[in-house]
Amino acid sequence: MLINIEHFAAKNILIFHIPPQDEEVGTVYVKQGQATPFPLLQNILAIDGVVWILFGKGILALKYEQKANIDDLQALVLAEIDDEAENKQYNFGNITPYNLSDVIEAIADTLIRPTLYRDNGDIEIISYEKGNLLLRFTGHCAGCPYAQNTLNNVIIRTINKYLPQVKTVQMAEE
């Protein structure tokens, strides 16, 4: 199985791009100290230095503590993914934590911010209430002529793909 690994050092995140499974995979987010019935995620959470895991359509991402050895962490996670791939048990359904704001931050850190950081920009998550997400562009993204394009083609598409319970994504007025 071919797995591409992306390292987003600015946020201490490793992203493992895994081949999507045939089954529909929901979004799973688990923090250190939370129990999960899924062996793959439980085994990865047991690795020293892992803070949280985000698992969804074609990705397994994790935030790690600064002290973690990246090479060891990558090798251990790849071994767990490989072991689990033999069992083909990736269909977890759609499981979210009690605080959906944590999942939104994890998705932003994993799938949105790396793109924005390349252009010296970022987003600030202002609020999430009743299916409505309010964001603000910061850095070079604030006032950028391509901001609306980034909102539509990067941010909204990503949020909709991984969190269908978010109904609207809007940018705060400057």
Domain covering 100-171 assigned CATH 3.40.190.10 in the classification: no
Q: What is the mean pLDDT of residues 16-45?
A: 81
State whether the Cα torsion 142-56-54-6 is positive or negative.
Answer: negative
Q: What is the mean pLDDT of residues 52-73?
A: 91
Q: Tens of pLDDT along 65-106?
A: 998 899 999 999 998 888 776 665 544 444 544 578 888 999
Q: Tens of pLDDT along 114-166?
A: 999 999 999 999 999 988 999 999 999 998 999 999 999 999 999 998 888 89
At 19, the pLDDT band (50, 70, 90 cuts) reads: confident
pLDDT at 125: 95
Write down the domain spans for the chain.
4-87, 100-171
E strands, 9-101, in order:
13-17, 28-31, 50-56, 59-64
Report the top-level CATH class of 4-87. alpha beta
